[in-house]
A = this chain, B = another copy of it.
């Protein structure tokens, strides 16, 4: 079975780029936890494990991971982008509370289907999608009254 590490190596080699310890460590950390993350959190986690990858390398590597399809930009909030790894994981969408910012993940077959149909209608080659449903969570709903 092909791991994300294999997939990334393959991607790099195909582009004539090098496999470096920094790139591998960043990749490993991105896949170490199954949560949304932002650049700051990622750097913090790397530091805590004694990895020295610089901020610049993290940004540069993240761009490669997105380009390779291993990672997706999920949403932009609080002035910066949030990411999640997607390789080897079933796709899911997000339900977001506009007040407390809680995020609930959910899966939805209807969207996958719509994705294919709509792609076909416009002759697009579809690679993925991003769906967010916005509203107020049970707690915040209650508090609004």
Residues of B within 8 A of A106 (CB): 118, 121-122
Closest to A138 in B: B123
- Other 16 A-B pairs with CB < 8 A, given A119-B133, A125-B141, A129-B131: A75-B76, A95-B118, A106-B122, A108-B114, A108-B118, A110-B110, A110-B111, A111-B111, A118-B133, A124-B133, A124-B141, A127-B135, A128-B134, A128-B135, A129-B132, A129-B133
Q: How far is the CA of A131 from the CA of B126 in the complex (A)?
A: 13
> Given A81-B76, A98-B127: A135 and B110 within 8 A (CB)?
no
User: Does A19 count as interface, using CB distance less than 8 angstroms?
Assistant: no
Residues of B within 8 A of A136 (CB): 124-125, 127
